[in-house]
Amino acid sequence: MAIIFSQPHNGHLRRADPKLTRTIPVEKWRCIAYFFFWTMVGLANVMSKIFVAPMLLNGPVDGTIEQKMGCGPFDRVDKGFGVDVGEGFIYPDQSHLAEAFGFSNICTAWDYTPSREVTAMYFPLFEFALVFYLFLDILNTNISYNRGELPEWFWTFSKTVFGLNVVLCIWFRMIFVVIAYEDAGRHTLGFLGLQIALMLVAFQNFFYVIMTGQSYPTWNLSTRQTAIIAKTYLILLVCISAVKISATVYIVIHGEGPAFYKEDSFIPGMVKGQVVDLVWMLFNALIPVLIAIVRAKNEDPLEFEVTCRTPTYENVGDEQARKGENAPLNPNNA
């Protein structure tokens, strides 16, 4: 006869109700994702300033044989910087991306060893936080849909793009796999995927806020004011993203920026591609942080409850144990 205990065999008493309950604000995790992104950028810039810049300026180490003088970042042909094979160059002004695009963008900070390797180890914090936000967001959308706040077409759209967004965000890691100075086009492909994902997320957030009639009393924003701000933001985002994504597609195909990227802009010392890049960053990496903060302060968090069936502890298996049924300790059955 089996001996089945209602308490664990080690004798410890139950301390609390055996379930976990947590509340998780969806937009808070978007803030966390952007926190990890900007700290990743900061880490990459520190690494590049301390280690990369001197290494690139000095060129190949003393004693490098002639056949290896053009290895790594020193394999280049002069295209205006006056830098040839085996020669050092100034970071970031003479970087490979500056040569290809007409300016050094944010990615330049992690293009070279050892910044690339260190930043790649920190990158999963941003990646996992961003994907977790996408997971929470689709759950929140599902709940709103079940409450009747969202139409069928939007729930179908959200389910469709969810998987695509997750894949594109994960594939962003390819910026560390395909080295910029070896293939600028394929190196940029991962970034193109992230641009598309952020655009789709912006559309999802816009329609969700509008169709659920969101307002944010903490910030004195009525439903009407929120709708006006959301529409203005989306229109401007679409405009800059259309230019940025089309230019990025050109880079992926041709391995260099389009001609207008390298033309002087209305801002002294900046080319047009650099202006496009900065405006795109404003609408995709700075303003979304403010939006997430506003929404996190006002929207209800998700509530999670995790539990499982009470386990059995037995000495000998029998039909009762196999069914997962509990029985009190009975010394007479021993």
- Could you give the CA distance from residue 15 to residue 27 in angstroms, rounded to a whole number? 33
| Closest-CA residue to 122 (of 208, 58, 230, 37) | 37
Quote the pLDDT of residue 63. Answer: 80
Query: Average pLDDT of each block of 10 consecutive residues along the chain (334 residues)?
Result: 51 70 93 97 98 95 80 82 88 93 94 97 98 97 96 97 97 96 94 97 97 93 96 98 97 96 95 97 97 92 87 56 50 47
Residue 17 has what pLDDT? 72
The predicted structure's pLDDT at residue 313: 58
- Name the nearest CA neighbour of 253 among 188, 159, 330: 188
> What is the distance between the alpha carbons of residues 269 and 41, in angstroms, rounded to a whole number?
23
Per-residue model confidence (pLDDT) at position 334: 45
Q: Say if CB 122 and CB 43 are below 8 A apart.
A: yes
What is the per-residue pLDDT across 73-88, written as a single tens digit (0 to 9) for each?
A: 998 876 778 888 889 9
C-alpha 129/C-alpha 133 separation (Å) is: 6
Q: What type of residue sits at position 205?
A: N
What's the confidence (pLDDT) of residue 13? 65
Look up the pTM and report it.
0.86
pLDDT at position 139: 97
